[in-house]
Chains A and B, each alone.
Chain A
């Protein structure tokens, strides 16, 4: 069974940092591009970042460029999102996504990040 389990979310003050993790199982993690997508409370989906299968190529949305870093550890089957300089507008549920836009597209259940003083 394919599983993506996000962790590391929580409450953080503006300007603070947080690292999200996504533990993958049930498939060959190293064979897929992986993405982070977020959804603010009551709002729509917004793509955040992606990383290729071996971790050598990354892309970011303009809104997080320079503040967030995506990475992966293929031997540990884990995807990461390091978030620095957090702002109130970063408050959202963050989803880990396998292979977005392709046949094997699959989403985790999400991790809530709340940025507030």
Chain B
């Protein structure tokens, strides 16, 4: 049950786009489309931004999008805004009937 691999940090200027990768294996990310992305601001509970690889819950801006290729999922945030600065985590279902999170990525808006 090793954590999925995410970059520790990414940064971008307001208005730019950034992409956060999440790499797993054929036994988790590559197995099916149960991959979610969470946003967590300091001291707050995580909030789902993307589920099932590329679907947005009601109320989530279309600036957030998800994709997957093989064993790697990606979250793209376009038109960066100051309020996007937060920690982001990917999560995948694994064939062992468990869930696995990524180590988290700190997004800094310059």
Residues of A within 8 A of B (CB): 35, 37, 44-47, 50, 59-63, 95, 100-103, 105-110
Interface size on B, residues (CB 8 A): 27
Total A-B pairs in contact (CB under 8 Å)?
62
Report the bound CA distance from A63 to B93 in whole Å.
Answer: 17
CA–CA, A68 and B93, complex, Å: 20
Say whether A100 contacts B1, CB under 8 Å: no
From residue A107, how far is it (CB to closest CB) to chain B in Å?
4
**B residues whose Cβ falls under 8 Å from a Cβ of A:** 1, 3, 34-36, 38, 40, 45-48, 51-52, 55, 57, 89, 91-93, 97-104
The docked-state distance in angstroms from the alpha carbon of A103 to that of B36 is: 10
- Whether A101 touches B91, Cβ cut-off 8 Å, given contacts A50-B99, A95-B45, is yes
In contact, B91 and A45 (Cβ under 8 angstroms): yes
Q: Say how far B108's CB is from chain A's closest CB, in angstroms.
A: 17
